A and B are shown apart, each in its own frame.
Chain A
Amino acid sequence: MSLFEKAAITGIGETAHGRGLQHGSALSLQMQAALAAIADAGLSPRDIDGVIPVATGAAVAEDFITNFGIPDLRFSATTPMGGASCVAAIQAAAAAIAAGICRHVLLPIGRTGYSGTRIGARVHEMPQFRTIGEFELPLGNIAPAQIYAPMARRHMELYGTTSRQLAEIAVTTRQHAILNGNAAMTKPLTIEDHQASRMIADPFHLFDCSLESDGGAAVVVSSAAAARDLRQPRVLVMGVAEGHPDSPSVITQRPDILKIGLAKAAPRVFAMAGVKPADIQVAEIYDCFTYVVLRQLEEIGFCAQGEGGAFVENGALALGGRLPVNTHGGLLSQAHLAGMNHIVELVRQLRGQGGAAQVAGATIGLVTGYGDMGDGSIAIMRRG
């Protein structure tokens, strides 16, 4: 059995994005987004019979489940993959739906990444970073910018990738955020602005790094059959997969530090969906750092290994470009909601609800997640 078109995304919801616009705990932001997604689908909270809370930082899964008031919850799970968790949760939800366990699975996230614990302190408080915490934190390897930078540096040394090419990604993403109407960063950005921004962890400038955000986002995954009767145009999950890198304890210890879990997941998802990279009209690519977008484009097969730098040049990722990417502004310029906002945006695009950032005629697209251990997740969807 394959998960091909067994499930559909039927509801999407987000809080307002932008510093100072949100009030409340990570749990309340998570619930606010959950209620919005359920209402968007035309469902009631009592219709939800499955839940996969994406627990990062302060919000834990049990807290959501025990407080949300679901009368007959039949399926619960978590996907322990950091930023790859949200898209991986689509796979878990679709599997539970295909097995007949449940019909409507809620995937909510809430974060206080700005007003709560900041990234420099958060990472080594997280048990999943125990290995980095013991062996690399005492050396000064503290935050993701430092942890990821050696991957980007090696890519540059091996393939000639440049900081200006990384800047292309930041600039395009900002252009899209400006069109969004619900994004934290709304000031135009140029390649020169990026190059002049302060160095965080070489080769990452400030504008290579994603935001720290307060907010929430949620989606409802329903059985493909049940989705026919709901409020919104149906968006079917054609394929979904997760993949983990070799020996994933920490980046430094991977046999090939450039190789990521997505390399294993991408062939699986295209085989399940029965399409090729050339069929994808819009892509929402997890963008904790500009480099991570570039590398995933290679591993998905939009370009050859090492050619990501040339691929992203000249506005290739902009609306009207060869592959519109992160049409909502991503983690770099909309908000850091661990990629749940990427799923929300893909669904919006495929429904034709993309507003000023709509990719004309988009009917098929993909979304990825990327976790700090190199974990990858990917889903291909179509309007149907």
Chain B
Amino acid sequence: MSETFTKPVPHPTPDTQPYWDGLARGEFLIQRCKDCGKLRHYPRPVCDGCWSMAHDWAPASGRATVQSWTVCHHPFHIGFKAESPYVLLTVDLAEGVRAMGQLRDMDPAGLRLGLAMELGFERTAEGPVLPVFRPARQ
């Protein structure tokens, strides 16, 4: 019998709730400025291009390329101990914003900058749906 430890869960704000609601439906939503059209992520109240606070949301295509990564060996939170080492991947989404998620279905030794990846979704035991990335299918 093994003990289980709960992972930290997100605490959405009114500014960010639509992003989490999107993930729960299997959609990755990017905030879009209603005035200048600039996309921004993570969600925040104001556009850093034109300072408009008006925004809507656009779904990501799921296409991504590798920006960087780290293989996490030391579990700084006990909730991650069982799955260590795990890979945190930072990607550039095709839409031009950055995203982070754990790597799936690939040995990190094969990672390279610019490698094509695709977005997936995983429901965690704690409830929230989180983005993950795996190598793009040809």
Contacts and interface: CB of A to CB of B under 8 A. Distances in A.
Nearest to A203: B70
Nearest to B113: A157
Given A120-B77, A134-B42, A146 B88 contact: yes
Contact of A140 (B13, B67, B88): B88
A71 interface: no
B11 interface: yes
Contacts of B97: 253
A6 interface: no
A96 B8 CA distance: 43
Contact of B88 (A124, A135, A139, A247): A139
Contacts of B121: none
B80 A142 contact: yes
Interface string A132-160: 01111111111101100111011001100
Contacts of A142: 76-77, 80
A257 B68 contact: yes
Interface in A109-143: 119-120, 124, 131, 133-143
B72 interface: yes
B8 A138 contact: yes
Contacts of A257: 67-68, 90
A253 B44 CA distance: 12
Contact of B74 (A137, A151, A200, A247): A200
A199 B73 contact: yes
B69 A150 contact: yes
A135 B90 CA distance: 13
A201 B73 contact: yes
Contacts of A249: 42, 44
A145 B7 CA distance: 19
A201 B8 contact: no
B10 A146 contact: no
Contacts of A253: 41-42, 97-98
B37 interface: no
B100 A135 contact: yes
Contacts of B7: 138, 140
A150 B88 contact: yes
A138 B9 CA distance: 5
Q: Looking at chain A, what size class is its interface with the partner chain?
A: 35 or more
A202 interface: yes
A143 B11 CA distance: 18
B128 A154 contact: no
A73 to B, nearest CB: 35
Contacts of B57: none
A182 B8 CA distance: 38
A322 interface: no
B10 A138 contact: yes
Contacts of A280: none
Given A134-B12, A250-B42, A120 B73 contact: no
Nearest to B20: A134
A150 B77 contact: no
Given A153-B69, A153-B70, A157-B112, A124 B100 contact: no
B76 A120 contact: yes
A186 interface: no
Nearest to B89: A150
B67 A150 contact: yes
A162 interface: no
Contacts of B12: 134
A253 B72 CA distance: 20
Nearest to A134: B10
18 contacts: A133-B8, A133-B11, A135-B42, A136-B100, A138-B8, A138-B9, A138-B128, A139-B131, A140-B77, A150-B70, A150-B90, A153-B70, A154-B113, A157-B68, A198-B74, A202-B72, A250-B42, A252-B100
Given A140-B80, A150-B67, 16 more contacts: A134-B42, A138-B7, A138-B10, A139-B130, A140-B77, A140-B88, A143-B76, A145-B74, A145-B76, A150-B90, A199-B71, A199-B85, A201-B73, A247-B48, A250-B42, A253-B41
Q: Which 7 A-B pairs have the closest CB atoms?
A: A120-B76, A149-B70, A150-B68, A202-B71, A143-B76, A142-B76, A154-B68
